[in-house]
Structure 1
Amino acid sequence: MPDLSPLDVLRTTFGYDEFRGDQAQVIDHVIAGGDAIVLMPTGGGKSLCYQIPAMVRTGVGVVISPLIALMHDQVSALESLGVRAGFLNSTQSYDEQRATEQRALNGELDLLYLAPERLDLPRTREFFDRLAISLFAIDEAHCVSQWGHDFRPEYLKLSVLGERWPGVPRIALTATATTATRHEIAERLGLQQARTFVASFDRPNISYRIETKQQPLKQLISLIRAEHVGDAGIVYCLSRKSVEATAAALVREGIEALPYHAGLPGPVRSANQSRFLRDDGVVMVATIAFGMGIDKPDVRFVAHLDLPRSIEGYYQETGRAGRDGLPATAWMAYGMADIVQQRQLIEGSDGDSAHKRLLGQHLDAMLGLCETLRCRRQLMLEYFGEASEPCGNCDTCLDPPTPWDGTVATQKLLSTVVRLKRERNQRFGAGQLIDILLGRRTPRVEQWHHDQLSTFGIGTELTDLQWRAMVRQLLAAGLLGVSADGHQTLEPTQASWAVLRGQRSVALRHDAITRAGAAKKRKDSTRTGSRASAVDDLVAGDRELFEQLRAWRAETARAASVPAYVVFPDATLAAIAQRRPDSLDGLFAISGVGAKKLESYGEAVLQVISAG
């Protein structure tokens, strides 16, 4: 579309009236032939930053994407907008690949998607030598970072793009990167001279909540029943076994849920992913193997039943909620066992001491987010180098925790740990330590004669749950350590001694002590179901029309074998239901309705409105 301006393409093809944030600057820079590194949050419109330049510049925009399983849906979504797009990957036959290559050579494609591994093939490089390439887009660029959360070794070879085709502009894009990761992206991709665009990492529509883990599965079910009935969601678990058990439990509770992990057969993973993308209200229970590149805009919640390894990973995963800008929830259940497990995983990981130290720093930052007394969003944004005010939409803003002086209680606990080690050469887990502090004469206490310790019974001012919450916070703060014996026993750390000597005080979260396991009180922002958030501003009759439009969309999407959001997202349907256009011109004026979608669906939508 060399005769159209970027804004013309935005309006005509994508159906939006104006660019957001840095989009216009990025697009103009790349169209002019400049290299760029772009950091924008998930749902912030990164794709437009390379799609529109590829449509405006002469030639084919080559998109390097690690997501073979999603390329078909990505291309289908573009084709539904009238964009000439194709992909090359191992799911195609030889003849299909040759046909796609020929379309590109004939100038019949604007965008061509392929995986980074394909660049290793001499045939691909020779094909590129013959192709008029408008730009190279490197999506999910954080995969190049060996210290990141989604490292892909094949990304390390992408510097060849600038070396072999030096005149072609390159744009590297990611949703999550600290300053260190950003520098690594520039160095490894040979983009040191590229202009860097950093958008705000804030996703104000997402409400972040972290609860003390008591009965995590029941807590999850309670969340879904109270706030997300009928909503699409993603539940992340650490192990494959936990994924399958959680999915089965949700199904037994009448919640449509599917498992996803690398151990499932390929056809099963593919079928489950397709159902999640195409059907409304499906909950995907998955390991972190699922989610990167998922474009489904109406995911209303992301839940974690296990502690993520880093804030970068957590931000990336929670960012898959609410891509349509409507209210969404990021919820996590977190407990003492999570900390112990992650510490042991780090100690048992491959790599030298520097690598383990860096993993430990990532974990410490994640634990700081869990245990903070401050606004969670504010702390997370600071991690990415962005200053902000308290958000008023996370649990610590809606129900502020208050600190209490836990110095004396911490000294009692640490003293018990030290006495066991020094006097008995013994190490125990939290349960035995708490029994000693509470003065319980259990069979294990009597077996080891722990009732003879001077600290026996000196901690009755706290309950069992309160002591457990305190142990968790001390582990998170590095004031208590996990032994390397693989038995989850506890031991003092270097920082413990300053507390025992009275040289350091310990502030703990009062809410974790006095209200552990209690439901957070809900404020005026509570909704009976997030799916209703799409129609919060609709009166009853408009809501009825909205549901009729959703039913039409579901049928249309099934017939075309595409995800429902490829037809129209909820936000666009809600605007249609509210404004009730009675002509194609009126429908075209609604955000999200481009020329191709008007041509494909316009008359059908008007019929639904008329019937409604």
Structure 2
Amino acid sequence: MSDHALACLRNTFGYDQFRPPQDQVVATLLAGQDALVLMPTGGGKSLCYQLPALLRPGTGVVVSPLIALMQDQVQALLQLGIKAAFLNSTLDMEAIRQVEDQLRNGELDLLYIAPERLLQPRTLGLLDSCRIALFAIDEAHCVSQWGHDFRPEYLRLSVLHERYPQIPRIALTATADRRTQQEIIQRLALEQAAVFSRGFDRPNIRYRIAQKQNARQQLKRFLDAEHRHDAGIVYCLSRRKVEETAEWLNREGFNALPYHAGLPAEERAANQHRFLAEEGLIVVATIAFGMGIDKPNVRFVAHLDLPKSIEAYYQETGRAGRDGEPADAWMVYGLQDVIFLRQMLEGGEAPELQKQIERQRLESMLGLCEVTSCRRQALLSYFGENQHPPCGNCDTCLDPVETWDGTEAARKGLSAIYRTGQRFGVAHVIDVLQGKPTDKVKSNQHDRLTTFGIGKDLAVDEWRSLFRQLVARGLLGVELDGYGALRLTDACRPLLRGEASILLRKDKREAGKRGVRVATHQRFSGEDRDLFEALRNLRRDLADLQDVPPYVIFHDATLSEMVEQRPDSLYALGRLTGVGKRKLERYGDEFLDVLLSFQS
């Protein structure tokens, strides 16, 4: 790596060394070659194109589908003294003309642009007249029709290779299995690109999944025990549930805001701004929230409903712990979630091929939930990483799952479903198994069946768990008629005929904790804690003056390093991680004053 690149890394970004494979990616782009970068969220993807854009002549053009991320990145870059701007639908015509003039005059280091705007003839004509350092295609998985977040406009981005063959391109993603990776290469004409993969593991995130019972109370116990004053995101599948959960959290003493596509645009923008700017705020959201959110100190992501796919789960949980500090991915789910998602899928208007893809994704997500081995191993193997050892930092590693021989119970349950005509949901079948003479049981004469009362040895929750696991394994189907009637599949025949047995997991009542971990600054006490709070208050005041999120001034990790190192000069302050030349000039004196006031 050139001395020039290392000097830029230190002076501009405040880092002394690259994280692998950043140095290799930077060298590839500086040599004018293409690159495909697969790196987990929080792994430092942005630096891979930002630094080469500064060192190569011209402007780096970054294609991003995410308005929130564009604005966030530009704010952070301006803090570093980098000349950056964006072009998207939030700008009026005068602002657009100003940015275009800056680009035309070579006054920008980086320009962020939405793919729709990039592909307009007017924009391509503008780029023809400008000096371009590189093209960066962020969220490159959006090009894949097999991916979970397909954007049709991404299919046309191969025009960059056709129109500007001499300008290096870099495609980046944190979410792509092998099939999606190949489609990115094919559709973006990256056959000659160097491929860099840092893997998908996020070792600082603890994955925990439990059976849903009383989801709100389970969430409250989790937050009370581990994240009472932390920033976090709670995901729900429906807008109504988002709003009700946010209201409930506020009644329980938390600071929570709703976010979903049905809210007025102004309210959505205001809630997102508050989440970025304030400490300890919880956003309750549908999947409409989170893409492009760069807040580094999100300490937990909780799911009150089952995500649609492992890709979605990985991307949503990846919004926790971007600063590398300990974070939690916590989820509860139940059979009703599976029924709801399948009803949504089958009731949609997507072509049959797309529905088949979505079915496969949901089955994989169910498999992750029901696995009895290391949760992280299962997650990473989905993305093609099959050699990962047990992680020691997921619920199944920390509190190994007990299993039981469910063969006989499963046969009883399957027989009860068959004999009741495969027309009833879980609750009714369990009533039959437990011998409860309800009006519905008696009116259907199900109290006369041979299966009536043969399941009294298991509790209701145990039967629910059994049926959920049989559905997850494909031995049972669920009719999508609004009633969730259970039906047998061909896959259950060997079990019914006595040709196969089945081991089931014993569900725990909670996504249990062991060895609660906290971020570095949360371990401070006494004077160290007072100093950290004083530094954080200064950061908030400076951010409020500029109407930017506090973390674009300095990350929590940088404030923690200030507390630990206690620098007593501007030179010493400037050696800390994340304190580049421009930030030292802008903020050094004020932060040093606070630090010196705590010197004994």
Distance 2:58 2:216 in 1: 52
Distance 2:216 2:525 in 1: 36
* Aligned position for 2:220: 221
One of 466, 469, 478 as aligned partner of 1:482 = 478
Offset from partner CA, 1:134-158 (integer Å, 9 cap, x none): 1000111111112211111111111
Offset from partner CA, 1:339-398 (integer Å, 9 cap, x none): 111222222233343322221111111101100001111110111111211111111111
* C-alpha distance 77-133 of structure 1, shift in aligned 2 (>3 A): same
Distance 1:441 1:604 in 2: 75
Identity, % of aligned positions: 57
1:597 aligned onto 2:567: no
| Aligned-residue offset at 1:10 | 1.0
* Aligned position for 1:392: 392
Offset from partner CA, 1:197-249 (integer Å, 9 cap, x none): 11121111100001110111121122111111111101111111111111111
| Aligned-residue offset at 1:445 | 1.1
List structure 1 runs of 4+ shifted beyond 6 angstroms.
Answer: none
1:584 aligned onto 2:592: no
Verify the 8 A CA contact 1:399 1:520 in the aligned structure 2.
no
* Aligned position for 2:245: 246
Could you tell me which runs of 5 or more consecutive residues in structure 1 were left unpaired when the two chains were aligned. none
One of 436, 439, 444 as aligned partner of 1:443 = 439
Q: How does 1:88-487 map to 2 (within 5 A)?
A: 88-386=87-385, 387-421=387-421, 427-487=423-483
Offset from partner CA, 1:493-512 (integer Å, 9 cap, x none): 110111101112111002x1
Which amino acid is 1:526 matched to? Answer: V
| Aligned-residue offset at 1:537 | 5.5
Moved more, 320-329 or 484-493: 484-493
* Aligned position for 1:86: 85
Verify the 8 A CA contact 1:50 1:137 in the aligned structure 2.
yes
**1:299 alignment partner, SS class:** coil
* Aligned position for 1:569: 555
TM-score if structure 1 supplies the norm length? 0.95
1:526 aligned onto 2:516: yes
Distance 1:409 1:546 in 2: 57
Verify the 8 A CA contact 2:330 2:511 in the aligned structure 1.
no
| Aligned-residue offset at 1:536 | 5.3
TM-score if structure 2 supplies the norm length? 0.97
| Aligned-residue offset at 1:186 | 1.2
Could you tell me which runs of 5 or more consecutive residues in structure 2 were left unpaired when the two chains were aligned. none
Distance 1:430 1:227 in 2: 34
**2:490 alignment partner, SS class:** coil
| Aligned-residue offset at 1:413 | 0.5
Offset from partner CA, 1:166-186 (integer Å, 9 cap, x none): 111111101010000011111
* C-alpha distance 353-91 of structure 1, shift in aligned 2 (>3 A): closer
Verify the 8 A CA contact 1:478 1:493 in the aligned structure 2.
yes
| Aligned-residue offset at 1:575 | 0.7
One of 526, 538, 549 as aligned partner of 1:552 = 538
| Aligned-residue offset at 1:554 | 1.1
Verify the 8 A CA contact 2:208 2:331 in the aligned structure 1.
yes
Distance 2:243 2:440 in 1: 35
Q: How many residues align?
A: 597
Offset from partner CA, 1:35-83 (integer Å, 9 cap, x none): 1111100000000000011011000000001112342222111010111
Offset from partner CA, 1:108-139 (integer Å, 9 cap, x none): 21100110010232211110000100100011
Distance 1:124 1:347 in 2: 40
Which amino acid is 1:590 matched to? Answer: L
Verify the 8 A CA contact 1:336 1:472 in the aligned structure 2.
yes
| Aligned-residue offset at 1:99 | 1.6
| Aligned-residue offset at 1:320 | 0.5
Offset from partner CA, 1:245-300 (integer Å, 9 cap, x none): 11111111121111111111111111111110111111111111111111100000
**1:51 alignment partner, SS class:** helix
* C-alpha distance 382-327 of structure 1, shift in aligned 2 (>3 A): same
**1:254 alignment partner, SS class:** coil
Verify the 8 A CA contact 1:260 1:269 in the aligned structure 2.
yes
Verify the 8 A CA contact 2:208 2:511 in the aligned structure 1.
no
| Aligned-residue offset at 1:539 | 5.0
| Aligned-residue offset at 1:105 | 2.1
Verify the 8 A CA contact 2:342 2:480 in the aligned structure 1.
no
Which amino acid is 1:407 matched to? Answer: T
Which amino acid is 2:414 matched to? Answer: L
Verify the 8 A CA contact 2:231 2:280 in the aligned structure 1.
yes
Distance 2:513 2:352 in 1: 44
**1:603 alignment partner, SS class:** helix
Moved more, 352-361 or 485-494: 352-361
Distance 1:317 1:485 in 2: 30
Distance 1:280 1:484 in 2: 43
Which amino acid is 2:470 matched to? Answer: L
| Aligned-residue offset at 1:603 | 0.4
Distance 1:439 1:248 in 2: 40
Distance 1:94 1:181 in 2: 37
Verify the 8 A CA contact 2:208 2:512 in the aligned structure 1.
no
Distance 1:267 1:356 in 2: 34
* Aligned position for 1:36: 35
Verify the 8 A CA contact 1:538 1:578 in the aligned structure 2.
no
Distance 2:71 2:368 in 1: 37
Distance 2:228 2:56 in 1: 45
Distance 2:409 2:122 in 1: 68
| Aligned-residue offset at 1:535 | 2.1
Moved more, 485-494 or 314-323: 485-494
| Aligned-residue offset at 1:447 | 1.4
Which amino acid is 1:578 matched to? Answer: E
**2:280 alignment partner, SS class:** coil
Which amino acid is 2:513 matched to? Answer: R
| Aligned-residue offset at 1:163 | 1.0
**2:86 alignment partner, SS class:** strand
Which amino acid is 1:370 matched to? Answer: C
Distance 2:14 2:92 in 1: 34
Offset from partner CA, 1:499-539 (integer Å, 9 cap, x none): 101112111002x1xx4x2x35532x214xx4xx2225645
Verify the 8 A CA contact 2:210 2:331 in the aligned structure 1.
yes
